């Protein structure tokens, strides 16, 4: 049966739109792109999603839906819509909601795909209602219109894409909290400016032609739009706000500040900007709905393209370090800070090492003066920790934070900033588990800066899906960090997207890291990611050229990683032979030590050794590295590679190219890699079969003895114990065989397994001279093997009459449609000897007449002639024949059958052609199909389906 899908989709129909609800296992993001009537949804998580019902019966507004992604990759869906239908989406925990809007609804709300809504021209009425904690302002227009709501300075702005007037009769100067409400007007924009105290926030809600704004200290900000900055390698780029719907940008003057601002207005539902993003020339401010752009240079352009607000200037906004004038201003700020220390004055300044040390000295003096007595202020100690973190002094910052917590136990739980800074410091030090304890605190769940650090920590653990999700969630807080850390976050995002096979997102993030990084090393790492992206796109030649250039740089880590990637590409494209890759990889192994890069080198070297058939070198090299980094995620993957190679050797037959004693030594040296469960048990039995095949019986018995004593239970243990007892019999150790059978009895064993174990036990009793016990054990068994036990017991007891009778019965069980084989002829010869020794000449002559033809022209023909010729039983000739026959065993056929069953796969592997070094491994040998296995073998293969005894 097929496994249940890991993501589901539900459909709901509402007036004016159709809703598709995609339910995933964990939080999932989505981006959309549109070309005409075709929408592509790109989810951030991979999942098994069943869309067969949607494809067979598309809901209203949807013509067709198709899945574009491959198994394991992030889900991508292509939707073909009815004409004029557009899409809006939002995320709700583990669900992604996608609404298909009717053409009229699309036009009213300003979504892409429908006709753009024109400015409303008319008169708006305003209603203001105040309750105990909030003020609600409702603006009614003659038709639906776009809007924006934000706070700037000491006032809240409510703006509309409209012309005409706003009727404030009965509203102006009427409110107890918000008086002097004024109407503001710009280029095709009209709205209200409402003075408000600093603690008042605004929230927006749309209902057709009505906009309702709530002003309170706890206003719900609504759904935030994704804000990001694209930066090219020259440090220039643009700011982008993804509203997922069409909008319009209008310009208006601020009557209080006197500058001119750009306001991005969109239709409902509410969607704004929750973080401040800035460059040297422009800044996007937080807004409850829409967006507002402050310009700091001429030529800044803000416009909508495909549902996105794009802010840029000429060749792009400058995102690099400040110019000399700005650095001079920073120096003046530092001088002022040293004269009269102030937390904000030094933040973000580009300081020299001497200036940083001087500033730390000042802050440490202030922290010492603050003291650690119970109830003491913590402002100076927190400022010291904050400044240390800003300058990457992570260990010192942790020490400062410990001092902050002295006699301030509640601060750890109640102050989100304290936990965020402690989490940041631990991430900088690579202490991910300690960092996640703080970064996963409920108080930081919705903090975008904490999301950045959680994503970076996940990248250190190589949890790429989690890293990408958190880094994208925290994109709005990038501007709160210095350029070096912005570049590190972008670089981590690039690596995560590359590992998840989203090459476009990886390229974009790598370019952003390249443009923002003030450090040459980070730019080289970004260049390395770009080379890997080019290789992933199939352009091996350009990728190798870039990697060869990077392998010569002075940054040792980049040079080593570039060399490793180049070797991998050359191996995968057959430009380099595995034998030629050993020397450079061994050199890299000792050139770079101590982090996941070493593990990648060792993993590649192990693969090369395995291709060359140097199994011990491969496993030994990988084990040393895995043991050194036992807690690293890459080490866990390396152990998985070792386990896979071990299974290839002893399950898929690649070790069959080794001598049995070499294979045994390799198995014992790396026995900890034996898998738990049926595969491990089968691996041991196959190796034991190979040893039996070359008569290394003692070593084979040791392997199976461990299985019986330590690993197996129930019927499986009884089956392997039967094989072990058979090996003891082959090695002339009947006492140990008997003990093995006695100590592994199980209730309700299958009948065929019981019969096999009974014959083995009887053969052990015969070997110990307990002839009567062996006969008793099989007296009710009418099978051929049991008959052989009875005949052998009578023969060894020198009871010639009974032996002759039992042997005659055994001859009668032969299928006379088939010729006699060597074992059958031995039985006939034994019968003649027993009859001769019993003095029954008439029976001897009758036996001769019956089987002379069967014995003719065989190895036993002369002996049969001697016995059947009437020679006296006391004669020397008959005694010589009897001694020769006594050296054989009537149960040889049974023992040989068990031996063949144990060694069948080993013999086939040995008959396969030898593998040349460096050649691909041969496929695993199939089980023999020439004839059906005997009942005992069938039972050994499928004990679950056998009938109960």
Q: Express each pLDDT in 762-774 by its tens digit.
A: 888 888 888 888 8
Is 126 or 900 the better-scoring residue by pLDDT? 126
* pLDDT above 50 (res 335): no
Taking the C-alpha atoms of residue 303 and residue 309, their distance in angstroms, rounded to an integer, is 6
Is 412 or 156 the better-scoring residue by pLDDT? 156
| Residue 461 burial (CB count, 10 A) | 15
* pLDDT above 50 (res 887): yes
Average pLDDT over residues 116-133: 79
pLDDT computed for residue 871 by the predictor: 55
pLDDT band at 450 (very low <50, low <70, confident <90, very high): very high
- Quickly list DSSP for 63-93: EEEEE-PPTTSEEEEEEEEPTT-EEEEEEET
pLDDT computed for residue 265 by the predictor: 93
Task: State which of 51-55, 158-162, 707-711, 818-822 shows the largest mean pLDDT.
Answer: 158-162
pLDDT band at 341 (very low <50, low <70, confident <90, very high): very low
Q: Which residue has the tokens 């003719």?
A: 856
* pLDDT above 50 (res 325): no
| Residue 417 burial (CB count, 10 A) | 15
* pLDDT above 80 (res 884): no
* pLDDT above 70 (res 358): yes
pLDDT computed for residue 467 by the predictor: 93
Is 627 or 462 the better-scoring residue by pLDDT? 462
Question: Between the CA atoms of 827, 833, 837 and 839, what dihedral angle is there, to the nearest 10 degrees?
Answer: 100
| Residue 231 burial (CB count, 10 A) | 28
Taking the C-alpha atoms of residue 40 and residue 550, their distance in angstroms, rounded to an integer, is 37
pLDDT band at 921 (very low <50, low <70, confident <90, very high): very low
Answer yes or no: are the C-beta atoms of 561 and 542 closer than 8 Å: no
Give the contacts of 85 (CB within 8 A, at least 6 positions apart): 37, 61, 62, 100, 101, 102, 103, 106, 113
Give the contacts of 749 (CB within 8 A, at least 6 positions apart): 715, 718, 757, 949
pLDDT computed for residue 909 by the predictor: 42
Rounded to 5 degrees, what are φ and ψ at 642? -65, -45
* pLDDT above 60 (res 736): yes
pLDDT band at 939 (very low <50, low <70, confident <90, very high): very low
pLDDT computed for residue 82 by the predictor: 84
Q: Over the stretch 556-610, which tens digit does the pLDDT of each residue have?
A: 889 998 999 899 899 888 888 888 888 888 888 888 777 778 778 887 888 888 7
| Residue 822 burial (CB count, 10 A) | 12
- Distances in whole angstroms, Cα of residue 21 to Cα of each of 42, 93, 95, 493: 15, 12, 6, 27
H or E stretch covering 438: helix 432-439
DSSP state of 269: S
Give the residues across from 209 on adjacent strands. none
pLDDT computed for residue 169 by the predictor: 77
Average pLDDT over residues 78-96: 81
Average pLDDT over residues 359-366: 90
* pLDDT above 60 (res 392): yes
Q: Which residue has the tokens 């065993």?
A: 889
Is 604 or 934 the better-scoring residue by pLDDT? 604
Average pLDDT over residues 532-544: 90
pLDDT band at 491 (very low <50, low <70, confident <90, very high): very high
What's the farthest any 2 CA atoms get from each other in the chain?
143
In the chain, the N- to C-terminal Cα span, in Å, equals 32
Rounded to 5 degrees, what are φ and ψ at 946? -75, 150
Is 127 or 900 the better-scoring residue by pLDDT? 127
Mean pLDDT across the chain? 78
Q: What is the pTM of this model?
A: 0.52
Taking the C-alpha atoms of residue 38 and residue 64, their distance in angstroms, rounded to an integer, is 9
Taking the C-alpha atoms of residue 727 and residue 699, their distance in angstroms, rounded to an integer, is 10
pLDDT computed for residue 289 by the predictor: 92
Answer yes or no: are the C-beta atoms of 382 and 420 closer than 8 Å: no
| Residue 872 burial (CB count, 10 A) | 10
- Distances in whole angstroms, Cα of residue 457 to Cα of each of 389, 437, 613: 16, 12, 39
Q: Does residue 648 have a cis peptide bond before it, meaning omega lies within 30 degrees of 0?
A: no
Give the residues across from 250 on adjacent strands. 263
pLDDT computed for residue 263 by the predictor: 95
pLDDT computed for residue 913 by the predictor: 40
Average pLDDT over residues 282-296: 90
pLDDT computed for residue 337 by the predictor: 36
* pLDDT above 50 (res 754): yes
Taking the C-alpha atoms of residue 142 and residue 121, their distance in angstroms, rounded to an integer, is 8
3-state secondary structure of 480: helix
pLDDT computed for residue 878 by the predictor: 66
pLDDT band at 191 (very low <50, low <70, confident <90, very high): very high
Average pLDDT over residues 653-675: 69
Is 862 or 350 the better-scoring residue by pLDDT? 862
Taking the C-alpha atoms of residue 362 and residue 346, their distance in angstroms, rounded to an integer, is 12
Taking the C-alpha atoms of residue 249 and residue 183, their distance in angstroms, rounded to an integer, is 19
Give the contacts of 90 (CB within 8 A, at least 6 positions apart): 96, 97, 223, 269
pLDDT band at 177 (very low <50, low <70, confident <90, very high): low
- The contacts found for 613-619 with CB under 8 angstroms, 24 or more apart, are 613/657, 613/915, 613/917, 613/918, 615/645, 615/649, 615/654, 615/655, 615/658, 615/666, 616/666, 616/669, 618/645, 619/645, 619/646, 619/666, 619/669, 619/670, 619/673
pLDDT computed for residue 919 by the predictor: 40
pLDDT computed for residue 534 by the predictor: 92
H or E stretch covering 800: helix 800-812
Q: Poorest-confidence range of 410-424, 559-573, 863-877? A: 863-877
Answer yes or no: are the C-beta atoms of 424 and 418 closer than 8 Å: no
H or E stretch covering 833: helix 822-837
Q: Poorest-confidence range of 227-231, 556-560, 888-892, 923-927? A: 923-927
The percent of the chain in helix, strand and coil, each rounded to the nearest 5, is 50, 20, 30
* pLDDT above 60 (res 329): no
Q: What percent of the chain has pLDDT over 90?
A: 13
pLDDT band at 395 (very low <50, low <70, confident <90, very high): very high
Q: Poorest-confidence range of 296-305, 711-720, 924-933? A: 924-933
Question: Between the CA atoms of 773, 779, 781 and 782, what dihedral angle is there, to the nearest 10 degrees?
Answer: 130
């Amino acid at each position: 049966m097929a496994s249940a899908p890991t993501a589901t989709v539900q459909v709901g129909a509402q007036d004016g739109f159709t809703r598709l609800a995609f339910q995933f296992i964990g939080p999932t993001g989505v981006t959309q792109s549109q070309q005409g009537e075709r929408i592509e949804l790109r989810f951030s998580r991979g999942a098994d999603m069943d869309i067969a019902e949607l494809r067979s019966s598309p809901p209203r507004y949807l013509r067709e839906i198709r899945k574009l992604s491959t198994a394991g990759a992030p889900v991508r869906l292509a939707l073909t819509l009815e004409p004029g239908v557009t899409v809006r989406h939002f995320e709700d925990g583990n669900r992604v909601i996608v609404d298909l809007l009717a053409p009229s609804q699309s036009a009213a709300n300003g979504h892409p795909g429908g006709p753009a809504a024109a400015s409303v021209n008319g008169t708006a009425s305003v209603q203001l209602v105040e309750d105990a904690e909030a003020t609600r302002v409702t603006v009614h227009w003659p038709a639906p219109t776009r809007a924006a709501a934000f706070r700037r300075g000491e006032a809240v702005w409510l703006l509309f894409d409209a012309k005409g007037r706003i009727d404030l009769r009965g509203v102006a100067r009427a409110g107890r909290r918000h008086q002097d409400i004024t109407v503001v007007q710009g280029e095709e924009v009209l709205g209200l400016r409402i003075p408000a105290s600093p603690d008042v926030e605004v929230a927006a809600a749309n209902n057709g032609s009505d906009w309702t704004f709530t002003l309170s200290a706890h206003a719900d900000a609504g759904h935030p739009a994704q804000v990001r900055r694209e930066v090219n390698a020259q440090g220039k780029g643009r700011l982008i706000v993804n509203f997922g719907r069409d909008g319009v940008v209008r310009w208006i003057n601020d009557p209080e500040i006197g500058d001119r601002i750009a306001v991005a207005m969109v239709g409902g539902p509410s969607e704004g900007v929750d973080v401040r993003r800035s460059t040297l020339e422009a800044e996007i401010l937080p807004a409850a709905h829409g967006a507002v752009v402050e310009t700091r240079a001429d030529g800044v352009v803000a416009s909508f393209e495909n549902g996105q607000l794009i802010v840029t200037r000429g060749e792009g906004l400058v995102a690099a370090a400040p110019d000399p004038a700005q650095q001079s201003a920073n120096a003046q700020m530092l001088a002022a800070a040293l004269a009269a220390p102030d937390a904000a004055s030094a933040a973000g300044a580009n300081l020299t090492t001497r200036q940083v040390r001087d500033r730390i000295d000042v802050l440490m003096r202030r922290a010492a003066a603050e003291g650690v007595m119970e109830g003491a202020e913590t402002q100076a100690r927190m400022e010291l920790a904050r400044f240390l973190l800003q300058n990457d002094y992570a260990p010192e910052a942790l020490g400062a934070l410990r001092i902050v917590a002295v006699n301030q136990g509640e601060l750890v739980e109640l102050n989100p900033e304290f936990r965020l800074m402690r989490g940041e410091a631990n991430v900088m030090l690579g202490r991910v588990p300690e960092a996640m304890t703080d970064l996963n605190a409920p108080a930081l769940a919705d903090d975008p800066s904490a999301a950045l650090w959680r994503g970076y920590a996940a990248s250190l653990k190589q949890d790429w899906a989690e890293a990408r999700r958190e880094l994208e969630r925290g994109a709005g807080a990038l501007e709160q960090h210095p350029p070096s850390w912005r570049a590190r976050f972008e670089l981590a995002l690039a690596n995560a997207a590359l590992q998840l096979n989203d090459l476009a997102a990886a390229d974009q993030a790598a370019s952003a890291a390249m443009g923002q990084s003030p450090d040459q090393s980070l730019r080289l790492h970004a260049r390395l990611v770009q080379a890997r992206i080019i290789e992933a796109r199939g352009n091996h030649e350009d990728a190798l050229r870039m990697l060869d250039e990077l392998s010569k740089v002075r940054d040792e880590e980049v040079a080593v990683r570039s060399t490793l990637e180049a070797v991998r590409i050359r191996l995968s494209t057959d430009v380099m032979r595995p034998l030629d890759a050993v020397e450079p990889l061994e050199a890299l192994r000792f050139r770079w030590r101590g982090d996941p890069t070493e593990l990648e080198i060792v993993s590649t070297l192990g693969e090369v050794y395995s291709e060359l058939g140097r199994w011990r070198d491969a496993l030994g090299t990988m084990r040393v590295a895995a043991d050194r980094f036992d807690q690293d995620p890459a080490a866990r993957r390396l152990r998985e590679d070792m386990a896979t190679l071990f299974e290839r050797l002893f399950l898929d037959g690649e070790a069959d190219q080794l001598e049995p004693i070499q294979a045994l030594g390799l198995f014992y040296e790396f026995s900890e890699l034996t898998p738990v469960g049926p595969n491990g048990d089968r691996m041991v039995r196959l190796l034991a079969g190979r040893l039996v095949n070359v008569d290394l019986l003692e070593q084979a018995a040791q392997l199976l003895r461990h299985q019986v004593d330590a690993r197996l239970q129930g019927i499986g243990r009884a089956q392997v114990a039967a094989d072990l007892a058979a090996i003891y019999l082959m090695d002339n150790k009947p006492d140990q065989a008997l003990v093995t059978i006695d100590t592994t009895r199980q209730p309700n064993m299958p009948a065929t397994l019981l019969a096999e174990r009974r014959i083995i036990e009887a053969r052990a009793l015969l070997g110990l001279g307990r002839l009567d016990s062996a006969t008793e054990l099989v007296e009710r068994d009418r099978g051929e093997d049991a008959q052989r036990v009875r005949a052998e017991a009578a023969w060894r007891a020198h009871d010639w009459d009974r032996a002759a009778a039992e042997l005659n019965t055994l001859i009668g069980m032969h299928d006379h449609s088939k010729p006699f084989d060597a074992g059958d002829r031995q039985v006939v010869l034994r019968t003649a000897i027993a009859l001769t020794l019993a003095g029954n000449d008439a029976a001897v002559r009758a036996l001769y007449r019956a089987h002379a033809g069967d014995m003719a022209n065989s190895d036993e023909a002369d002996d049969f002639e001697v016995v059947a010729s009437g020679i006296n039983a006391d004669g020397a000739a008959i005694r010589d024949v009897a001694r020769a026959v006594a050296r054989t065993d009537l149960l040889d056929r049974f023992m040989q059958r068990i031996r063949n069953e144990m060694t069948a796969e080993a013999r086939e592997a040995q008959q396969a052609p030898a593998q040349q070094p460096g050649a691909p491994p041969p496929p695993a040998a199939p089980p023999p199909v020439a004839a059906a296995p005997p009942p005992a073998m069938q039972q050994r293969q499928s004990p679950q389906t056998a009938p109960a005894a």
